[in-house]
Amino acid sequence: MQAQEAVEGLREEILRLKSERDAVILAHNYQVPQVQDVADFVGDSLGLARRAAETDSGRILFCGVHFMAETASIVSPDKRVLIPDPEAGCSLSSSITAGELREWKGRHPGAAAVGYVNTTADVKAELDYCCTSSNAVDVVNAIPGDREILFLPDMFLGSYVARVTGRKNIRVWAGECHVHAGITPEDVTSKIRSMPGAQFLIHPECSCTTPMLDAAAAGAYGGAGTAAGGMRVLSTEGMMRHAASAAQGSRFVVATETGILYRMRRQNPGKTFAPASEEAECKYMKMITPEKVRDSLLHDRHEVRVPPATASKARLAIRRMLEIG
Ligand code: 13P
Ligand code: SF4
């Protein structure tokens, strides 16, 4: 009871500070429940970048990882962007540096550099196009077919995009997210077998995306209405939309970070959601706690600033991302 009162007291304090500081709280779908509960908007990378660009508030408190807060600062340069913990990084965004990208581009003059939003601002400044998991296919389709593409940094998203677009001239950087790479075909297969009739939602960063698509195409996991019939590769917000539109009583196996299950279950009573792997937790996303949210607002601390020269170069690629898809 006392613990519940403390949680409620912290929540009220955050909401009071948020209004005193003229702040909007944006939270990624992987945030812990108590952080999602105080947010003005919870969504995927694309939705969060859009909200950051549109907000009228003077401050953006970004509950997600560092590259996401940088993106918010780039699209809203006149706002003060805060992150509750500046150490909240991302293994995928760390897998390529701006120097490595410049060197790669140097070996492929004329190629278009397409980078996932999970990259640092320095890397984004080197890109022609930025994309998220929800519009990567549309972004690649918007590039003339005869232009070579350097896709970075996620190799599983890259190979999924190459497969869907049918392009042969895509070179893919060998980066990965430790969380999604760790969701194995064995995890998924055993979960699907334990939930007959369940639909299967998979994030394109998962290492099991290609093997699962191959297996489904070869007729594995049964027919329509089972996982093969209901397999969908989606961004986190695409998963939310798909779950919302499904019939009452639907069941889902969800292959992404487990934080998304809180919102899925809350918004869809009467439907069942199971993680493909209980281990799929992003330690960086989980570094953002309600206490750090409160302290960031209280002390107005941990501002994320991108140097203006870097921001103006990165903005071009981000603008293309926001316009497409
Ligand atoms: P979404 O854009 O689908 O939310 O994914 C972001 C991310 O970090 C996935 O790990
Ligand atoms: Fe980065 Fe992976 Fe965490 Fe997403 S889940 S923020 S890609 S480390």
* pLDDT tens for the 325 residues of the chain, in order: 678 888 899 999 999 999 999 999 999 999 999 999 999 999 998 899 999 999 999 999 999 999 999 999 999 999 999 999 999 999 999 999 999 999 999 999 999 999 999 999 999 999 999 999 889 999 999 999 999 999 999 999 999 999 999 999 999 999 999 999 999 988 888 898 899 889 999 999 999 888 887 777 676 654 434 454 578 889 999 999 999 999 999 999 999 999 999 999 999 999 999 999 999 999 999 999 999 999 999 999 999 999 999 999 999 999 998 888 6
Closest CA to 121 of 322, 287, 313, 284: 313
Whole-number Å distance, alpha carbon 4 to ligand 1 midpoint, is 31
The pairs formed by 138-146 with CB atoms below 8 angstroms and a separation of 24 or more are 138/324, 138/325, 139/114, 139/320, 139/321, 139/324, 139/325, 140/114, 140/165, 140/167, 140/170, 141/165, 142/324, 143/112, 143/114, 145/169
Task: Name the β-bridge partners of 62.
Answer: 26
With a Cβ cut-off of 6 Å, ligand 2 is lined by 65, 90-92, 118, 177, 179-180, 257, 282, 284-285
Whole-number Å distance, alpha carbon 3 to ligand 1 midpoint, is 32
Nearby residues of 88 by Cβ (< 8 Å), 6 or more positions away: 64, 65, 66, 284, 285, 287, 288
Q: Which two tokens stand for residue 88?
A: 């909240």
Ligand nearest to the CA of 132: 1
Whole-number Å distance, alpha carbon 282 to ligand 2 midpoint, is 6
> Are 242 and 139 contacting, i.e. CB atoms less than 8 angstroms apart?
no
Nearby residues of 33 by Cβ (< 8 Å), 6 or more positions away: 262
Please tell me the residue having the least CA distance from ligand 2 atom 2: 177
Question: Is 45 a pocket residue for ligand 1 (Cβ < 6 Å)?
Answer: yes
Going along the chain from its start, the domains and CATH numbers come out as 2-88+285-305 (3.40.50.10800), 93-176+312-324 (3.40.50.10800), 183-275 (3.40.50.10800)
Please state the atom number of ligand 1 nearest to the C-alpha of residue 65: 8
> Are 180 and 212 contacting, i.e. CB atoms less than 8 angstroms apart?
no
Write the CA distances from 317 to 103, 105, 117, 132, integer angstroms: 19, 16, 10, 12
Question: Is 255 a pocket residue for ligand 1 (Cβ < 6 Å)?
Answer: no
Instruction: Give the pTM.
Output: 0.93
Please tell me the residue having the least CA distance from ligand 2 atom 8: 90
